[in-house]
Structure 1
Amino acid sequence: MSQALVIVAHGSHLNPDSSTPTFAHADTIRESGAFDEVREAFWKEEPSFREVLRTVEATEVFVVPLFISEGYFTEQVIPRELRLEGWNVADWDSDGTSADHATLEARDVGKTVHYCGPVGTHDSMADVIIQRAQSVTDDPAVGSGFGLAVVGHGTERNANSAKAIHYHANCIREQGRFDEVQALFMDESPEVDDVTDHFESDDIVVVPLFVADGFHTQEDIPADMGLTDETGTYSVPGTVDGTRIWYSGAVGTEPLLADVILERANDAGADIESAIERVKELTGGVVTA
């Protein structure tokens, strides 16, 4: 039986770079030969969630949301638009960070759909955050002498938004690689505005847990930290209150995220073990503590 992968993401009518990571990771997975078909679909761009299953020939489809946290889109919008019969968020039996997968039918197109939890809550995201720190510092051994700030948007409308940030910060903290690890937010406490107040380290790597670079990651967060100059630009590393700030930009642009997408599909039963190794060769492989 042929297998297809569909990566679903938000997209944007206003930011042309919003979909860039989705297409990049899809291309990496497509090159690996992991699936007979690989498709991308978006809420705010084409192809749309509602139509994407009609573009797939395979009768077994693995759908992986390229979202950071569980919430409105992963629990309501995507299942509704894909017309997954019998969907119930209780099928995931999740505490807000542990959504795994559910197998349902999209009978209007005659397909079995393995609907996965979002990439942003998968345990392997901690590896991607660390890889992002390595990439921005150009130091494979980065950790000792450094603090690490994992930054999320935060919102009072969705408690799970902050849960994912805290979850990965805790996982990395337990590894003991960095001197300090903190979860910070744009719109709730503790705030990224006061980044240097939360660390004693002279060097801080700041990794925003966002899928794509846009207004928040390229303008809001650097400005909130006091990293930008009067022209709105910043250097890496930059200096804030005598502390060096290594600002990485969106974690979703890290090539290693393609591994996490495959891990989600693999957890849901996709027969892709050999392809996972090929993708690791393309992306630099999974970082281990």
Structure 2
Amino acid sequence: ARQYAKQGVPTALRAGIWRCALGLRPSGAIAGESAHFRWLLSEGQRIDLITDDLFEMDVQFIADDDRYFVFEDMLRDCVGAFSRDAQVLRGSDVLPHQPLVGHHGEGQAPGTAVPPCGVQPFRGFCNYLAPLCFLYHDAPTCYGVARALWCRFWCRLNAVRGRPGTLLPLCKLFEDLVLQGAPDAFARLVALGVSPLSIVMPWIQFGFVGFLEPDQILLLWDRIIGFQSLHLLPVLAASIIMFRSHNILKVSQLYESKSIILLLLCSGGSRGSNR
């Protein structure tokens, strides 16, 4: 399945191929997955956590996007289940931060991470789930894929350290590629007081959600799953800068803002905003 995904997966086959490549049953959530998902939701209803409102704010934020607002209820359920899932903490390839340990209250053991997933809510978390709603129409199946992607890939994009495949080395790869391929454009941006990395950091960190259209995002994620690598993100970001280098070189006035430069980069491409 991973070898097949390297070339891009047809829309009709993508849902099953992704689950197979991630070690899940291709046809959908098994009874155990569905039961576990329902239990996670019941835990969320049983005990309120201080982080719940912050996760809800992120759901509301992406629900304002006209591409994803129809999935608000499914996103809310998946995010709620994620926040209560201790398997996320145990299964993540790398921890973005040390989990905060506390006591939930009655019925919860002291020393349990808050939230149990070990991930503190942050703006943009729902970006990792929203495109999946185009593939999976029931929440347990969608959640299983979302958790697998987080534990294998997305957790690395929120870990600030020098380990290969995490955010800092990926950002360095982007800068190295642009300095080699479009040094004049890089220098022009710096001269204008705009760090090239400040433009593309959200693209890399959130897998281009918010910049590319959903169908393009899914094609990109095909390759990430197929190659089992996040290096495609800085490579694509650098390619966009290089492709639009002639636009960047036309920006000559210091008062021209970063938003104008973003419009030049996006012209002729996605209408998506840079989150």
* TM-score tier after normalising by the smaller chain length: under 0.3
Question: Which one has a larger percent strand, Structure 1 or Structure 2?
Answer: 1
The structure with the largest alpha-carbon Rg is 2
Structure 1 length-normalised TM: 0.22
